[in-house]
Amino acid sequence: MADAKTLTHLERLEAESIHILREVVSEAEKPVMLYSVGKDSAVMLHLARKAFYPSPPPFPLLHVDTTWKFQEMYKLRDRMARESGMELLVYQNPEAKERGINPFDHGALHTDMWKTEGLKQALNLYGFDAAFGGARRDEEKSRAKERIFSFRTASHGWDPKNQRPELWNLYNAKKNKGESIRIFPISNWTELDIWQYIHLNDVPIVPLYFAEQRPTVERDGMLLMVDDDRFPLRPGEEPVMRSIRFRTLGCYPLTGAVESTAKTLPDVIQETLLTTTSERQGRAIDKDAGGAGMEKKKQEGYF
């Protein structure tokens, strides 16, 4: 009997995340869930559905879109909004749109305008005071030190030296005027936890996580997928069909694939366990500004 009562690590993580989601809904005025359609978002959304069942989660989903996501991501996004009974808000930075900002010609400016600026604009536009995000502490060094309730100034900046202490499971959600909160309910999950949870709970995820023959080019040491005809081929480049999958999803021109034959979740987990490179390696965004890349971005208002 005593043994049966010892919760597994996934049960404890799930209970903690649900507790966080409910605290925010009870204490914030206008919460929203940032939904990026990746696997972490998928788990976060699933946890929200569990937390409030039989009610639908009492907040909308917000997708800060760059127009450069994979086609499969847009499909799943619309489907999940329908199935969860939640309102889906899609925001595209009008200035980035007008100036035709894209990852091929504008490099870092692309992320800055579509994502960082787009997110700030969307939160200001709707007046959300609390935004759920799917970041995990094991992803990146600066995140390991970020609180679960992370406060942002009126200009959305993060001050790592001035964070509120977080004790037990008591969260102080009281804000000063102009402040907003980013809340990370899956802070304590690792990549492997996410995969195991998806496997055990049949959480729907984008098929790009599974290996398939897809058109690719190799560029700057990354394997990129030619997802649509906006992909400008350089002289001598010719899309080649390869069996690939993605460990992480973002804008397709910025997201590196890995060659793989993992077609099922157990295969993917097996590959994850046997792999020797870290997850975000496939993303160009962390490599700017040396080791402090993400910390700097966060101080500027990136999620």
Partner 1 sequence: MTDVVADPIYKTDALIAEDIDQYLKVHEHKTMLRFITCGSVDDGKSTLIGRLLYDSKMIFEDQLAALEADSKKVGTQGQEIDFALLVDGLAAEREQGITIDVAYRFFATEKRKFIVADTPGHEQYTRNMVTGASTADLAVILVDARKGILTQTRRHSYLAHLLGIRNIVLAVNKMDLVGYDQAIFNRIVMTYRAFASELGITRFTPIPISGFKGDNITLRSDNTPWYQGPTLIDHLETVEVNSAADAEKPFRMPVQWVNRPNLDFRGFSGLIATGSVRPGDAVRVLPSGKTSSITRIVTLDGDLDEAVAGQSVTLCFADEVDCSRGDVIALADNPPQVADQFESTIVWMSDEAMLPGRPYWLKIGTQTVSATIQQPKYQVNVNTMDQLAAKTLELNAIGVANLSTDKPVVFEPYKDNRTLGGFILIDKISNATVAAGMLHFSLRRAQNVHWQATDVSRDHHAALKNQKPAVLWFTGLSGAGKSTIANLVEKKLARMNRHTFLLDGDNVRHGLNRDLGFTDADRVENIRRVGEVAKLMTDAGLIVITAFISPFRSERDMVRQMMQPGEFIEVHIDTSLADAEARDVKGLYKKARSGELKNFTGIDSPYEAPVDPEIRIDTANLTAEEAADLIVARLIP
Which residues of this chain interact with partner 1, rule CB under 8 A? 2, 5-16, 18-19, 22-23, 25-26, 49-56, 137-138, 141-142, 144-145, 160-161, 163-170, 172, 174-176, 187-188, 190, 192-193, 196, 199-200, 266-267, 269-270, 273-278, 281, 291-292, 295-296
**CB closer to partner 1, 174 vs 234:** 174
**CB closer to partner 1, 72 vs 166:** 166
CB 265, min distance to partner 1, A: 9
**CB closer to partner 1, 2 vs 100:** 2
CA triple 199-202-203, angle to 5 deg: 100
Kindly list the distances between the CA atom of residue 280 and the CA atoms of 131, 164, 170, 283, in Å, as whole numbers in the listed order.
23, 28, 31, 5
CB 76, min distance to partner 1, A: 19
d(CA 139, CA 174): 28
As given in the structure block, the two tokens for residue 28 are 């914030």
**Buried residues in 266-285 as b, exposed as e (16+ CB within 10 A):** eebbebbeeeeeebbebbbb
Cβ distance 243 to 258 under 8 Å? no
**CB closer to partner 1, 6 vs 213:** 6
Strands 240-245 and 212-219: antiparallel
As given in the structure block, the two tokens for residue 114 are 């579509």
**CB closer to partner 1, 234 vs 273:** 273
CB 282, min distance to partner 1, A: 10
**CB closer to partner 1, 239 vs 293:** 293
As given in the structure block, the two tokens for residue 173 are 């959600």
CB 136, min distance to partner 1, A: 9
**CB closer to partner 1, 145 vs 219:** 145
Cβ distance 53 to 152 under 8 Å? no
Sheet arrangement for strand 31-34: 88-91, 61-64, 31-34, 130-132, 180-183, 149-152
CA atoms within a 13 Å half-sphere pointing along the CA-CB vector of 90 = 9
CA triple 113-72-37, angle to 5 deg: 55
**CB closer to partner 1, 26 vs 213:** 26
CB 11, min distance to partner 1, A: 7
Q: What is the DSSP letter of 279?
A: G
